[in-house]
Amino acid sequence: MNELLKRSFINSNELETLLKEREENKADFILVDVREQIEYDMSHIKGIDILQPSSSFHSWSETFFNENRDKTVILTCRTDYRSGNIQKALQQNGMERVINHSGGIASYRGEIVRS
């Protein structure tokens, strides 16, 4: 497993590296954007697998946890505040491989999808 996927947080350069490695089948993870739909629609990191808004965390958290508890999950938002809170909640419930994208999309210089 890539050493970056063993950490509790990664920066934007490291996320960009991991996304390239995933394209080459050298890394396996789920990239989750926890911003709101309107934010996602305006722009998002290319490679996001799923949008799970933090405002509705209680409606999706149990299902998400049960479906992904054995997977590596990277959470991102605008700056890392919301993703950090979601990370803590998932970890407190036993999810071990959950990583926060430090700096969020605001610090990301890789490919961004814009509407």
Q: What is the mean pLDDT of the chain?
A: 97
Which tens digits make up the pLDDT trace of 72-111? 999 999 999 999 999 999 999 999 999 999 999 999 999 9
Per-residue pLDDT band for 2 (boundaries 50, 70, 90) equals: confident
Cα dist from 72 to 28, 43, 48, 65, 75, whole Å: 7, 24, 14, 11, 10
Q: What is the pLDDT of residue 1?
A: 59
Domain count of the chain? 1
Query: Residue 37 pLDDT more than 90?
Result: yes
Q: What is the pLDDT of residue 48?
A: 98
CATH of residue 9: 3.40.250.10
**For the chain, what percent of residues have pLDDT higher than 90?**
97
- Residue 26 is classified by DSSP as S
Query: Residue 71 pLDDT more than 90?
Result: yes
Query: Residue 115 pLDDT more than 90?
Result: no
Cα(24)–Cα(29) distance, integer angstroms: 13
Q: What is the pLDDT of residue 30?
A: 98
Query: What angle separates helix 57-68 from helix 81-92, to the nearest 10 degrees?
Result: 60
Domain of residue 82 covers 3-114
